[in-house]
Amino acid sequence: MTVLIKGGTVVNSDFSQRADVLCEDGVITAVGENIDAPKGATVVDAGGQYVMPGGIDPHTHMQLPFMGTVTTEDFYSGTAAGLAGGTTMIIDFAIPAPQQNIIEAYQQWREWAEKSVADYSFHVAITWWDDSVHADMGTLVREHGVNSFKHFMAYKGAIMADDETLVNSFTRARELGAIVTVHAENGELVFRLQQEIFEKGITGPEGHPLSRPPQVEGEAANRAIRIAEVLNVPLYVVHNSCKQSLEAITRARNEGQRVFGEVLAGHLLIDDSVYLDKDFDTAAAHVMSPPFRSHEHQEALWHGLQSGNLQTTATDHCCFCADQKAMGKDDFRLIPNGTGGVENRLEVLWDQGVNTGRLTMNEFVAATSANAAQIFNVYPRKGSISTGADADIVVWDPEATKTISAKTHHQNVDYNIFEGMTVKGCASHTISRGKVVYANGELDVERGAGRYVDRPAFAPIYDALQKQAQRKEPVAVKR
């Protein structure tokens, strides 16, 4: 298929220019002025609009078995909803159960993802440790294009990684040239606080944020950062929700440490008053970890994004409907943790970021696409409007408006955390792998059209050390 996008302004993370964009066989083949449409090409009129790299959501959970149930969004519906909002790639998580072979878990997630309508990749979680995990991490990096490993510092008794696991996994990732990521909450403290709060008679959703105060996130973020510092491995801290974790990241970056931070669109815009709603379904719909915070934390997170100490935006898209949330009707500890957002991330960030002057258009592209592509080593194939890049593109109408609602969204969940928010600036067209898949409110997707994206390792330290041992001579390894 050939698509020509004419008359728009191309916006990359580093520059903007008036240009047409030609896409052939799933790749951008030309970016320039006055490109003539080849015979049979689909022409998209982008006059008065911006042509940007499709969004990359580096943190989603499609079809996730969790807390006694499974998320309502599978890889088909979730990637389709993403396309409707301009997101053309997700990085999801393969999460092994304790003692489960990590390659077996990865292969299961690959099978589930075959129905995806947009491109995808996987972080693999390390939930336990032995020699087999050490070996299988190498196989995942070398043979399956995995260059990031996730560690949950929370969820005691389930998937929590203790310090011994962190040290072993971080060391192995360094050898392989992979990046490590953490969900930073002190699981021991959360477990203790959950018990104490429940025993005081606080059983509803309002107990959730009380059991996970900002301090437990800040402590875990700092601990992970210092472990990574000692072991000299790059670290990516997911879904930062508070000043404490941001301060730990900022301090480390100022000291020269290679630490990256992610913030969710929801944590930038929603405060903790939602947990006090008298309607259980509404309050429970917002239960996620870390929880939404007070206004002061939102302002700090915006400043972190503006200053560059937070580099990426995500959603932690992890959907449960009201009947599933009701599992914790009498015990907030049993409410499945998760909210949606993959469809609306770009819209709310444009409205509250670009339209308010908090972000420039180029910074918006960096925060929603290019930085994730660079951090996870798929740039400029993704995250760039340039010759040779994948034709994953969003045509953005800055004048379009919409009111976000669960009644009209494409996400397979009965609640929208941005319900009722009117935004200005929306995708008019989304192009995935060179095909127009969303145009003026209509989706045209093909089940299984999405492809798995290999993400190469950053520095083959392990291979260099192996060669050194074979040669029995020194070797310089570039970081």
Using alpha carbons, select from 351, 336, 376 the residue that is nearest to residue 73.
336
Full domain range(s) for residue 191: 1-479
CB 250 within 8 A of CB 186: no
Residue 471: pLDDT band (50, 70, 90) is low
pLDDT at position 468 is 53
Kindly tell me the sign of the dihedral angle through the C-alpha atoms of 200, 206, 212, 218: negative
Is the pLDDT at 13 greater than 80? The verdict is yes
CB within 8 Å of 308: residues ≥ 6 apart? none
CA distances to 132, 176, 258, 393, 411 from 466, rounded to whole Å, are 19, 11, 25, 41, 47
CA distances to 60, 207, 311, 327 from 314, rounded to whole Å, are 8, 25, 10, 27
Q: What is the mean pLDDT of the chain?
A: 96
Is the pLDDT at 234 greater than 60? The verdict is yes
pLDDT at position 474 is 46
Is the pLDDT at 479 greater than 70? The verdict is no
Annotate 246-276 with b (16+ C-beta within 10 A) or e (fewer).
bbbbbebbeeebebbbbbbbbbbbbebebbe
Is the pLDDT at 198 greater than 50? The verdict is yes
Q: How many CB atoms lie within 10 A of CB 295?
A: 10
Q: Looking at the 3D structure of the chain, how many domains does it have? A: 1
CATH number at residue 450: 3.20.20.140
From CA 85, how far away is CA 416, in angstroms rounded?
14
Using alpha carbons, select from 254, 282, 281 the residue that is nearest to residue 270.
282
The DSSP-derived string for 357-392 is TSS-HHHHHIIIIIHHHHHTT-TTTSS--STTSB--
**Tokens linked to 188:** 């021991």
Q: Where are the alpha helices (DSSP H) in 232-294?
A: 243-254, 265-269, 280-285
Q: How far apart are the first and last CA of the chain?
A: 40
Average pLDDT over residues 2-13: 98
Average pLDDT over residues 413-437: 98
Helices (H) and strands (E) in the chain, counts: 16, 21
The pLDDT tens digits for 36-67 are: 999 999 999 999 999 999 999 999 999 999 99
Q: Please compute, for residue 444, the number of CA atoms within 13 A of its CA located in the half-sphere on the CB side.
A: 11
The pLDDT tens digits for 436-449 are: 999 989 999 999 99
Token pair 């939102």 in the structure block, residue: 298
From CA 145, how far away is CA 457, in angstroms rounded?
8
**Model confidence, pTM:** 0.95
**Tokens linked to 444:** 């045209």
Q: Which residue has the higher pLDDT, 170 or 469?
A: 170
Is the pLDDT at 298 greater than 50? The verdict is yes
Pairing of strands 42-45, 2-6: parallel
The pLDDT tens digits for 384-413 are: 999 999 999 999 999 999 999 999 999 999
